[in-house]
């Protein structure tokens, strides 16, 4: 339930930050950032990074489902059906915690993308370069 709620919050944040991005991209530091490299390269790089993150998220979900099933079967065979169900519920809870943490990470990245780039931030470097010109 918690990871579903955090996913809903993530969707709202992504919608909100999308509406905010237009003025930022049209600002002086935003233009300087986009002029650092060809636009197609930047967009392709960001798209590729997004696909890698989405693939990691899908792999995590598949791994949790497969692991939960295997462990539940092993515990059920060894102890009893009720122990297997308890194990399944415990691992499902762990999976929800991981999903929630992942969504919180993505929310943080959506709200403040400069923290996801480097320690100094690509946006700060671009702003500094544009001011020096």
pLDDT of residue 21: 64
Could you read off the pLDDT tens digit of each residue along the chain, which spans 133 residues?
666 777 777 777 666 666 666 677 677 877 777 777 666 676 777 778 778 888 888 888 898 889 999 999 999 999 999 999 999 999 988 888 888 888 888 777 777 665 555 444 555 555 555 555 5
Give the pTM.
0.56
Distance CA 44, CA 109 (A): 19
Contact by Cβ (8 Å): 108, 10: no
């Amino acid at each position: 339930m918690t990871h579903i709620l955090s996913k809903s919050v993530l969707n709202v944040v992504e919608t909100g930050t999308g509406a905010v991005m237009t003025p930022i991209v049209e600002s002086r530091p935003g233009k300087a950032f986009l002029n650092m490299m060809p636009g197609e390269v930047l967009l392709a790089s960001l798209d590729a990074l997004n696909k890698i993150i989405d693939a990691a998220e899908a792999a995590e979900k598949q791994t949790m489902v497969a692991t939960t099933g295997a462990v539940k079967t092993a515990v059920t065979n060894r102890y009893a059906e009720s122990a297997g169900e308890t194990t399944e519920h415990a691992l499902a809870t762990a999976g929800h915690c991981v999903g929630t943490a992942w969504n919180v990470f993505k929310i943080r990245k959506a709200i403040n993308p400069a923290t996801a780039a480097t320690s100094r931030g690509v946006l700060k470097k671009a702003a500094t370069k544009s001011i020096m010109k």
